[in-house]
Structure 1
Amino acid sequence: MNSSTQYITNLIIDYSIIGFSSTGILISISMLTFILYHIIKNKIKSIRIALLLTGNMYFALLLFFILIIDTYTYTLEGHIYGNIFTNNTKLCRVRAYFLTTVICALFYSNTLQAIYRFCRIIFYMKKTFQSFQIHIIIIVIQWIICFIVISPALFLNRFEYLPDDYHCQIPYGNFQTIILYGIIIYIIPLTITIGCYIFTLRKMHNENNRFRQIITQIQRFIIQREMNILFRLCILLGFMITFFIPSTIIFLINQFTGYLPWWSSQIRWLSYVLSMICVTIILAFISPHIRNLWINSTGFRKLFPKNKTAPAVIKIN
């Protein structure tokens, strides 16, 4: 590919990433405003906790899009002005550190929702797990952990400046670091989320008769709903990870052949941004508390009348 075509392609991708990220910021701010309003207004503890955990994920999405725009503003300048522009500074590496930390927090915020649903089903008698204040503390701990686990990459200078892309990131050639943080950021939350669902499913199946004796009809309805949400969270996490497949393929090609396409970093971040844009939309649809609040606060509630009683027959096996 000649330099002119490469130049135009880079600009198209840069503007696309910035444009999509701007859209993501607008969606995230809108959802956070909606969630914050209903957290303050709503008095039902379970709904407030569910909104809080969803809001935590939208907050991570908002930070992700902001940092992407910040990063790609420099990348765009570099692609326009060429070699006379440089971003090879300590701040560049710190920016990459924050971006990686936010991606880590995004995956773990989804896992927190799965753990909450798991506790709502398995430990439904434990009032401790229904505390709004405790979940605020858990969210703070989650962010602290994410900052801590990513910090070695910053202090050990694993974030490197890419002169062709004008920003810092962990290069594809750093095999050990990429594998390590791939496990920390993606594999661990995926394992926990799917583990919560499988464990809950098996426990309910094995103790189905005992459950029927000790729980009420309304509790069965709640358990069925929580199981559905837990399953959707697994699907959402799997969906998020599928958009990281292009990066994985490029990484494997680089490891086995030593070849790294000039567009590898561009495609990587474009796929990330597209993934997160989809998440901002899908998350609202798979979260029944948000969907119900939206229906109840608009004219659509006439089309979807609210049931005041649980269904007469509910299967939990």
Structure 2
Amino acid sequence: MNQVAFILCFMTFIICSFTCLFSCIILICVIHHLYHNRLQQEDRITFIHCINIYSLVLAYIGIIASFNIQTVLGNLYEYDFNTSWCVVLGYLAPTLACSLFWAFVNQAFFRLCRVVYPTVRRLQSYQLYIILPFIELIFSCILMSLILFLHSIIYLPTDYYCFVPFTNVYSMFWLVLNNYGSPVGVLLFIYIRITIFLRRQTNTPTLIVKQRQHPDLLVIRRILITVGFVISLGIPAMIFLVMFFITNEQYPLTFPFLCFFISISMLGLCLLTIIFTPQLKKTVVKIVQQNRVTFLNDSFIASIPTRQ
């Protein structure tokens, strides 16, 4: 196996493993906090968004890790992974990626409803944002089913897993359009609508309006930074695609490099979600402090000598 490819796959696997463990811990903390505490509706919706994002990251990064394991084992021991599950994983990977981007659309839509339509309570209901992730997952499955029906997902003999090859231009364009183009277009539309609304509100600035808009503006900026981070780390895929269109030749390490950048983006996404979500950050810090105090108390009790 090429040494560079092996190093990329090994580093990707380590990052994916850490991201999976990190996502599982955060999911457990959020679900425990959501179940055992009485929260305001806005906080409950925020935690639902976090559960949706971390669940999709966990599933998606798990598939990316399995791809790298197959690449390493295939090159070292010439294992054949061309099974029925191979095509299923090749189909689930872009489907989960599409759902992940739509999860950020959920966040933006919630802020749109809070800022522009604060009187429409149905658009801010807790039940709506529980149902939306399932609807978007079904929608993503339907969109990605085209590459499945066209048999665009094939076994890549040099990478030892199934995916859409760069040589299939139309299917690759369909993936880029639906995984990046459509969600990003909807996000831009939502934020432009919010910006136009806020500029109109500045004509009659009142203290009540400013107090209500300030937290929403902070959250919107944080979401934009997070989405911008994920989109920017998807740029390498676009670069390889453009290179293929120009030279009509695929770079041998295309998929190892893409998996490496995807793993970094998912890890960064997990960290940014905590940093830019005050409710989640507060919950994680609180649980860590409680566990630390419990550990110190147990250590102190264990250190007290008992009388014989």
Paired position in structure 2 for 1:173: 167
Asked if 1 retains the 8 angstrom alpha-carbon contact of 2:113 and 2:124, the reply is no
Among residues 54, 60, 63, which one is paired with 1:58 in the alignment? 54
The answer to whether residue 2 in structure 2 is matched with residue 7 in structure 1 is: yes
Alignment-derived partner of residue 116 in structure 1: 110
Contact 2:94/2:175 (8 A) holds in 1:
no
Q: 1 CA distance for matches of 2:167 and 2:117?
A: 45
> 1:107 maps to what in 2?
101
- The Cα of 1:199 is off from its aligned counterpart by 1.3
1:261 to 239, 251, 271: 251
Q: Please identify, of 136-145 and 289-298, the stretch whose mean Cα deviation from structure 2 is larger.
A: 289-298
**Could you tell me how far 1:64 is from its partner in structure 2?**
1.1
2:244–2:250 CA contact under 8 A, matched in 1: yes
Q: Which residue of 198, 206, 225 corresponds with 1:204? A: 198
> C-alpha separation between the residues in 2 aligned to 1:192 and 1:254?
28
Mark the runs of 5 or more structure 1 residues left unpaired by the alignment: 1-5, 301-317
TM-score normalised according to structure 2 size:
0.88
1:139 aligns with 2:128: no
Judge conservation of contact 2:26–2:284 (CA < 8 Å) in 1: no
Contact kept, 8 Å, 2:49 with 2:106, in 1: the verdict is yes
* Identity among equivalent pairs (%): 23
Please give the secondary structure, in 2, of the residue aligned with 1:161.
strand
Query: Unmatched 5+ residue regions in structure 2?
Result: 291-308
For 2:151 and 2:84, the matched residues in 1 are separated by 10
Aligned to 1:86: 80
Q: 19, 31, 35: which is aligned to 1:36?
A: 31
Question: What is the CA deviation profile of residues 67-105 of structure 1, one whole-angstrom value per residue up to 9, with x for unaligned ones?
Answer: 1222222222101113xx222233211111111111111
Structure 1 stretches of at least 4 aligned residues deviating more than 4 Å after TM superposition = 295-300
| C-alpha displacement of 1:172 | 0.9
Matched letter for residue 226 of structure 1: D
TM-score (norm 1): 0.86
User: What is the CA–CA distance in structure 2 between the aligned matches of 1:22 and 1:42, rounded to whole Å?
Assistant: 33
CA contact (8 A) 2:156 2:162 kept: yes
Is 1:69 the counterpart of 2:32? The answer is no
What amino acid sits opposite 2:175 in the alignment? Y
Could you say which residue in structure 2 is the equivalent of 1:303?
none
Distance change (3 Å), C-alpha of 1:69 and 1:39: same
Higher relative contact order (CA 8 A, sep 6+): 2
Which amino acid letter does the alignment assign opposite residue 192 of structure 1?
Answer: V
**Residue 16 of structure 1, aligned match among 6, 11, 15:** 11
